[in-house]
């Protein structure tokens, strides 16, 4: 095992890396959280993830086998102890941007919301009412809608505590990725109710893929290091398309200089969970 230090972070690996400062094992033992450097296929593995089993120290890919504890893997006692406490984060150095995984979370989150339809506007209302220590940026391709929601959101106030809610400001398109979390709520719409022989989700996907691919490329061009949150439907296919499109060069070849998989978070299943919870609470079933 080799031990390294990068700035104020301590790392270890089975790989010999000449471009990192050497450290001692005792440094890592005394550190609360440490990082494990590994090489895995970027197309099938995330850039960073928490180690939950010693088997992951020897794995070459992220598959279902990682769900099983391997008794054949022998690790140092201090490593096993940190794994139990979820204090080891693996970093896939096959990504050129792997050092971004060493970044600490922001002290105040800057959240930019793209598209102010039903979903985006309700999200912004919730963020404003949360009273959290965040800043909120809003953007829509319709200038009239953008101005309307700037007025609406900034008039949500608590009497005698006028400045207690998060600040909301309008953005220009070139400011969208000056944030810690970019929330994609854009959609071209869905087929009308009653459309026959149409897979609504796939119709949504084809139209929304064009939009999200554009903003994936903008994120790449801006070397975006934050979270790209996908709220538009269908969430899972859009997340995959976003990852693939943002990691291609101009000739369509993968260079993995775009968004990392763990930078992309889809928020679709939260709706399904909430809906299931609601109906489970209705003793006599739904009212309609």
Q: Are residues 194 and 83 in the same domain?
A: no
Residues 128 and 253 occupy one common structural domain: yes
pLDDT of 219: 97
126 in the same domain as 95? no
- Predicted local confidence at residue 206, as pLDDT: 86
Query: What pLDDT does 71 receive?
Result: 45
Domain boundary among 77, 102, 127: 102
Please state, in angstroms and rounded to a whole number, the distance separating the CA atoms of residues 128 and 183: 15
**Strand ranges of the sheet holding 9-13, from the earlier edge strand across to the other edge:** 21-22, 2-6, 9-13, 34-38, 88-92, 48-50
- For residue 175, count other CB atoms closer than 10 A to its CB: 14
| Per-residue model confidence as pLDDT tens digits over 64-97 | 766 665 544 457 899 999 999 999 999 999 999 9
| One domain for residues 84 and 123 | no
Residue 248: other Cβ atoms inside 10 A? 18
**By residue range, what is the domain housing residue 91?**
2-102
Say yes or no: 128 and 164 in one domain: yes
The pLDDT assigned to 256 comes to 92
Q: Count how many domains the chain has.
A: 2
Query: Do 97 and 121 share a domain, yes or no?
Result: no
CA 205 to mean position of chain CA atoms? 19
What confidence score (pLDDT) does residue 74 get?
A: 58
The contacts found for 217-220 with CB under 8 angstroms, 24 or more apart, are 217/245, 217/246, 217/258, 218/173, 218/176, 218/177, 219/177, 219/182, 219/246, 219/258, 219/259, 220/246, 220/247, 220/257, 220/258, 220/259
Say whether both 22 and 161 belong to one domain.
Answer: no
Choose the final residue of a domain: 102, 125, 140.
102
Q: Which pLDDT value is given to residue 97?
A: 93
Q: Is residue 282 a part of any domain in this protein?
A: no
Q: What is the mean pLDDT of each run of 10 residues along the chain (288 residues)?
A: 95 94 96 96 91 85 67 72 95 94 94 95 96 96 97 94 92 97 89 67 86 96 96 92 94 93 88 85 66
Last residue of a domain, one of 102, 136, 162: 102
Q: What is the pLDDT of residue 116?
A: 96
């Amino acid at each position: 095992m080799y031990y390294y230090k990068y700035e104020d972070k301590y790392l270890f690996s089975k790989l010999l890396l000449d471009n990192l400062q050497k450290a001692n094992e005792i440094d890592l033992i005394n550190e609360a959280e440490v990082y494990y450097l590994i090489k895995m296929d970027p197309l099938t593995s995330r850039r960073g993830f928490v180690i939950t089993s010693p088997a992951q120290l020897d794995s070459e890919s992220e598959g279902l086998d990682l769900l099983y504890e391997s008794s054949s893997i022998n690790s140092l006692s201090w490593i096993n102890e940190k794994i139990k406490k979820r204090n080891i984060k693996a970093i896939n150095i096959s990504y050129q941007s792997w050092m971004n995984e060493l970044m600490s979370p922001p002290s105040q989150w800057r959240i930019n919301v793209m598209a102010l339809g039903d979903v985006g506007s309700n999200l912004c209302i919730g963020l404003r009412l949360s009273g959290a220590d965040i800043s909120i940026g809003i953007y829509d391709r319709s200038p009239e809608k953008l101005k309307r929601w700037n007025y609406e959101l900034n008039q949500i106030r608590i009497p005698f505590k006028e400045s207690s809610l998060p600040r909301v400001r309008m953005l220009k398109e070139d400011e969208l990725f000056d944030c810690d979390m970019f929330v994609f709520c854009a959609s071209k719409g869905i087929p009308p109710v009653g459309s026959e022989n149409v897979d609504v989700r796939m119709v949504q996907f084809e139209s929304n893929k064009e939009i999200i691919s554009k903003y994936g490329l903008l994120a790449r061009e801006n070397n975006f290091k934050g979270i790209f949150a996908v709220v538009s439907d269908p969430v899972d296919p859009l997340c995959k398309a976003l990852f693939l499109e943002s990691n291609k060069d101009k000739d369509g070849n993968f260079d993995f200089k775009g968004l990392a998989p763990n930078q992309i978070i889809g928020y679709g299943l939260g709706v399904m969970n909430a809906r299931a919870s609601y109906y489970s609470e209705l003793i006599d079933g739904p009212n309609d």
